[in-house]
């Protein structure tokens, strides 16, 4: 059984004060730092490149969970790995652009964790050929591209379907995670929770992360509430 992991999304942080934002959520008890990379093509928004990941890595002590919402992960995987990403996830929806299995194995071959993500309207059955090469599946509970969207409960059966397919790795939920939605996600079998506004917008980030962890533990029956999952 995987531990509960709270992964604040830096997309919701104050980028003019990024070092302090990273240190703030780490001292508040987060497990991973989630980095949303968007290319303005796969999704309409544009965020940042490897140089920002490198800058974050210099001040971070927690693993960097990098989510590539880009059309060509084959071209950019190594720059993001070189910059310090500890986990690298890309989207199954771009599978026609190259050899998905080969890229997943390449990520692992570099000593990092590999992941695939699915949009809300994509079936997890498309992941079946790659399960043996995956450490993590990231399920989007909003459509990728912008923060602050409403959680879509309709994606929850995908978690159970993944387990039924025999996937034993980590399952992450990204989009609209808050105290009001995390329990349903945990009950379905999710163990990694990407939370942007819910953490960075909280008056007391330590209390908020503790609250999210407690709710996830209670709903998922995942053991002691003081256990953190800050490794990979």
Residue 114, H or E segment: strand 113-118
Rounded to an integer, what is the distance from CA 203 to the centroid of its chain? 23
Spatial separation of the C-alpha atoms in residues 108 and 102, rounded to whole Å = 10
**Active-site pick, 31, 39, 135, 174:** 174
Q: Give me the residue label for tokens 């996937």.
A: 167
**Active-site pick, 14, 31, 36, 65:** 36
Respond yes or no: is residue 36 known to be catalytic.
yes
Six token digits for residue 115: 């992941």
Six token digits for residue 223: 């053991």
Spatial separation of the C-alpha atoms in residues 155 and 200, rounded to whole Å = 24
Respond yes or no: is residue 86 known to be catalytic.
no
Six token digits for residue 208: 């908020």
Contact 176, 198 (CB under 8 A): no
Give the active site residues: 36, 174
């Amino acid at each position: 059984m995987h531990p509960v992991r709270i992964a604040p999304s830096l997309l919701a942080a104050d980028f003019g004060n990024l070092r302090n934002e990273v240190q703030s959520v780490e001292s508040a008890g987060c497990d991973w730092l989630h980095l949303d990379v968007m290319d303005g093509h796969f999704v309409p928004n544009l965020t940042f490149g490897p140089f920002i990941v490198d800058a974050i890595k210099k001040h971070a002590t927690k693993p960097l969970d990098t989510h590539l919402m880009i059309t060509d992960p084959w071209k950019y995987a190594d720059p993001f790995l070189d910059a310090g990403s500890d986990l690298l996830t890309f989207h199954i929806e771009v599978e026609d652009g190259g050899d998905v299995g080969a890229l997943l194995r390449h990520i692992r071959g570099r000593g990092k964790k590999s992941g695939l993500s699915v949009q809300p309207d994509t079936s997890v059955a498309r992941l079946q050929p790659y399960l043996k090469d995956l450490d993590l599946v990231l399920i989007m509970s909003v459509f990728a591209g912008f923060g602050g969207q409403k959680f879509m409960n309709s994606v929850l059966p995908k978690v159970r379907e993944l387990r039924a397919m025999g996937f034993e790795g980590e399952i992450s939920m990204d989009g609209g995670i808050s105290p009001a939605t995390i329990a349903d996600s945990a009950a379905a079998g999710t163990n990694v929770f990407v939370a942007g506004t819910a953490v960075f917008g909280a008056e007391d980030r330590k209390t908020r992360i503790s609250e999210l962890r407690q709710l996830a533990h209670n709903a998922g029956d995942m053991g002691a509430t003081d256990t953190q999952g800050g490794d990979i």
